[in-house]
Structure 1
């Protein structure tokens, strides 16, 4: 999270996930908890385009997008001090494990309990569902 972006209940969370069903499920989960979703995006170029145009409080990033690793997005978010949760089934590969060192990992298939826990630890996010969903942002 950048110094100018404090975490709030309606914080903007970037979502990068190439599996449509997983993206929709995670988007619903985030919206139900009062977050604004930037995305979801299924391509690196779209996420990279949205990052500088939004004050993000956090990001949930799938590591493997149809065979393309999302390190350019992770690096751009890190350069902007945006906290990241990496969603992956590839975290145990030695070359990947080294590059992801220190980042919170959400194993696939993800669970609401694990994501809630990681969001609280990483973003300081609340875990309680909200009554009214906020707006969805597609930038």
Structure 2
């Protein structure tokens, strides 16, 4: 199977609404830049669990969410459960690797920080178009 080029991925990602939940501002800004390079629409970032939950309560509609696992000492899994229940695809980002994510969540891509634009692109493609 031929891997899509960045240009064809950008066309597919054009306007994709990505919810960023990340508590480190520099990482959030870098991720936002990566997503803008892929022609995505960035929602957030939410830097705390309560902020992210409030955004969802206010009707946030995301096509995919990229979630930092640890938000200022709180885990993101209550929010991840809401997203999963609403059938929003999830990508986890963590400095702890796969071992920092409970096994029940291993069905979703888990990116080790620091990550690249290509890794973000591949993870989003995997969850947004899983049979591509």
- TM normalised by structure 1 equals 0.76
- Is the contact between residue 66 and residue 91 of structure 2 (CA under 8 Å) also seen in structure 1? yes
Q: How far did residue 8 of structure 1 move?
A: 5.8
Greater than 6 Å deviation, 4+ residue runs: none
**Is 1:77–2:103 an aligned residue pair?**
no
Structure 1 portions without partners, runs of 5+:
1-6, 125-139
**Is 1:60–2:69 an aligned residue pair?**
no
**Is 1:21–2:26 an aligned residue pair?**
yes
Of structures 1 and 2, the one scoring higher in RCO (CA 8 A, sep 6+) is 1
**Is 1:117–2:122 an aligned residue pair?**
yes
Q: How far did residue 54 of structure 1 move?
A: 2.1
Q: How far did residue 51 of structure 1 move?
A: 2.0
Equivalent residue pairs, number: 116
- TM normalised by structure 2 equals 0.80
CA RMSD in angstroms, aligned pairs only: 1.6
Structure 2 portions without partners, runs of 5+:
1-11
| Secondary structure of 2:99's aligned partner | coil
